[in-house]
Structure 1
């Protein structure tokens, strides 16, 4: 039940943010909005305010903003034509289309900034285990030592220590540790370890053979530093999302890693139980995924519409209706195929896998 409620909250917020982007820019550019719906399909509840009917619909895996002229039968009045989406310039239509995914990315950026201001858990540089016969053990480093410096650079967090070891590129290191109240210095020559990263790529990393104790502290940051860190984190996640999509197409990342609604619900529940910061981080991550995926040049997604309007902007004429219909059918088939794959993976992972 926690997973279902958490998933509804996450998806509801992210869909609202996405559609709000389309809605605000439509209004900004003088386009009338007839419907603003969270969800697809039959209306559950709705209220009309001004010209716009605000709805919650039966199927929560998406939403839509219906603008004046879309799906209209017969001729539009001159007034409606002036306020219709189709009559706006290509640049304005591009702005309205991009606003949805753009709002998802901006929302994630704001959430990441908030997370750094609230406080993020960080693993300290205290050693929990020294692996036998590895460089650290041979140098004399012991469990419960706290690494305070690498090559003269002060460290207090595990990721800082790991980054300094990696930056050394396998060259001998001067490692400073605190043992009780005593500061000791060791010369350690890392060994290399070859393995797979998250994207399935083979990477070689210098290591010294120590395991974190798991001790954590909460790091909070002032607004300026939180802004900087939130911006970097948002950029990193966007880049990782794009690279992951490329790797999936190249089949470097297996197709069975793609997840659907059950996976989202499962992860949302786990992050909610882990605490508010984890839940916010998951929501920001999912918001970036939603934003990037919607910008893919696939007809029926925002990115597909963007291609049509860019074509019109460059060549001064719209894509023919026949070409758009074919492209929409291909896009719909691709989207349905992706959804089927995601559901199949979810069933295999969470239902059959538990059976």
Structure 2
């Protein structure tokens, strides 16, 4: 039951932030919003405030912001289709951008409370680092001429080079020094190590925000590099549906709240970036249509565009059913 409750909270937060991005920018652009919904299907709870119906629906597999004139022709000057192309692009892209912002916020919160690993180090006695001349308080600036901006980069580079000599540039009292360090191989993992630990800074908004941005950009680059595999069909086996995500959330919850927040941030990045793909019914496809309209100087028929998005949505639902079935067979059979 705890897993189900936590999963619902995670799914709800992801969908809410995504749709909130669309909703807020639509309001800023004076677009009439008919409904803000979490979920699909029959309405469970609803509240009408002003011109907008706020609802929670039975199937918690997504959500939507229904704007006047989004998929049909209308003479309402406040309709989505009657706004300038730039305003409509801003509304469409704001959902994925809100997901990326959500990831930055979550990772920053984790860093604020649990601490941010910096490139300032403490040295383990009699380690390769100490024997080479690295001292407590030194800052790792570069390794083999590669500039270092985070502790994760430091660990990644050193771990990939066991039993090799590294040229490490450190900052000591504002002065640069070049130090040659021979790595050792860690028996358990085979990774390269030199015997340094990061100085962790807690309760620092600036360091936490910097880490949140860096890790979000890093995760985004990793996800983007995997998209070609997904589009060619080779990455379909890596797709995980709601059941798979709920299972991962449950596993993360057993470790602690920070693991749940990290997982939520990573899923949010995935959701934001995948929504930018030019697939009908996704935000990326709507951006393509708007870009074509900008080049043509006139809009594409909203009803024809709406039909394409409807067909795309139907295909995405079929894919969702397939992924749900595969997750069920993998986890429960």
Identify the TM-score tier after normalising by the shorter chain.
Answer: 0.7 to 0.9
Matches within 5 A, 1:1-355: 1-70=1-70, 81-120=76-115, 149=130, 152-153=133-134, 162-163=155-156, 165=158, 171-172=164-165, 188=182, 207-208=191-192, 220=202, 222-250=204-232, 253=235, 255-320=236-301, 324=305, 327-328=308-309, 331-352=312-333
In the alignment of these two chains, the number of paired residues is 304
CA distance in 2, matches of 1:171, 1:222: 35
- Local SS of the residue matching 2:80: coil
Q: TM-score, normalised by structure 1?
A: 0.73
Quick check: 1:113–1:229 contact (8 Å CA) kept in 2? yes
User: What's the offset of the Cα at 1:259?
Assistant: 0.8
Rg larger in structure = 1
Contact 1:19 1:65 (C-alpha < 8 Å) held by counterparts:
yes
Mapped contact 1:6–1:268 kept (Cα < 8 A): yes
Asked if the contact 2:29–2:87 (Cα under 8 Å) also holds between the matched residues in 1, the reply is yes
Structure 1 3/172 Cα, relative in aligned 2: closer, same or farther at 3 Å? same
Q: Is the 8 A contact 1:300 1:328 kept in 2?
A: yes
1:28-62 CA deviation, whole Å, 9 max, x = no partner? 11111111111111100111111111111101111
CA distance in 2 between counterparts of 1:289 and 1:188 reads 38
Alpha-carbon deviation of 1:65? 1.0
Distance 2:322 2:123 in 1: 43
For residue 245 of structure 1, report the CA deviation from its aligned partner.
2.0
TM-score by length of 2: 0.77
Q: Which moved more, 1:87-96 or 1:144-153?
A: 144-153
Change (3 A) 1:262 1:155: farther
Aligned partner of residue 225 in structure 2, secondary structure:
helix
The root-mean-square deviation of aligned C-alpha atoms, in Å, is: 3.8
5+ residue gaps, structure 2? 138-149, 169-179
Q: Aligned to 1:42, what secondary structure does the other structure show?
A: strand
